[in-house]
Amino acid sequence: MASRKRILHASPRVLTLFSGGMDSAVALFHCLERYGRDGVLAVSFRYPSKHNFYELKAARGILARLGPRAPQHQCIDMALCFKGFRSHLLEGGGEIPEEHYAAGNMKLTVVPGRNLIFLAVAAGLAESIGAEKICIAAHHGDSHVYPDCRKAFIGAAAEAVAQSTEGRVRLEAPFIGMSKKEIAALGKSLGVPFALTRSCYKNQENPCGKCGTCVERGEALAAAGLVE
């Protein structure tokens, strides 16, 4: 990562949460189109989810593909913050469900307070570096499973970010009313290299194709006319 460091001529305007998954990759390209390379800081989190190693690998691959168009990237170690948390998504948790994303047992993959924690850190970092906005790729398709991807949560989080920074930082969720299929279509128009993104929740090199995220990903890409 040392070779990727550079000094920015101006503080980034927007801090975008970038996991390496397809939604956050579209959000990254959306922000790059609006603010340009030097106006964006991509922020990833290292935490003990089963797929985090592969997500971060995907994030680095996407940035490498962007080459000179890539924004500055910061990876924040949050491993200790999740000690004692219980979720099938986390290391030591139960098996990842192999059903459609809409299935009720996908709630087993909810990590309590995850986006609340990430957004609190992002708000502090954004205020510290003078960024005006935080972008998160939460979308409507996740809302039935993940409470921290719902419009009500995003609205409350946006108010909390504004209050805690005295209005200096705003939270944006440009996809909150969109489906995964709509996000895939937008990503196609933006030239997102979806083949480099990571969606599978399992701790293995190759995506399983069976877990809820793999199934939903396949459906969304197919609807956008993209085949992996």
Low-confidence ranges of the chain (pLDDT < 50): 1-9
The predicted pLDDT at position 182 comes to 97
Structural tokens at position 29:
């390209």
Ordered domains of the chain (ranges, CATH): 9-223 (3.40.50.620)
Distance CA 63, CA 60 (A): 5
Count of CA atoms in the C-beta half-sphere (13 A) of 160: 15
Distances (CA, A) of 39 to 31, 35, 91, 132, 186: 8, 5, 35, 10, 21
Given this model, what pLDDT does residue 6 score? 46
SS3 at position 7: coil
Are 126 and 16 spatial neighbours (Cβ–Cβ below 8 Å)? no
For position 144, what pLDDT does the model report?
85
pLDDT-above-70 percentage for the chain: 94
- pLDDT score recorded for residue 165: 97
The closest of 5, 4, 10, 9 to 132, measured between CA atoms, is 10
User: What mean pLDDT value characterizes the chain?
Assistant: 93
The two three-digit tokens of residue 112, written as one number: 């309590």
> Which pLDDT tens digit goes with each residue over 110-149?
999 999 999 999 999 999 999 999 999 999 988 888 999 9
Angle at 145 between CA 42 and CA 223, to 5 degrees: 70
pLDDT score of 142: 85
pLDDT for residue 1: 39
Only one residue has tokens 């939270």, namely 171
- Using the CB atoms, write b or e for 151-169: b if 16+ within 10 Å: eebbeebbeebeeebeeeb
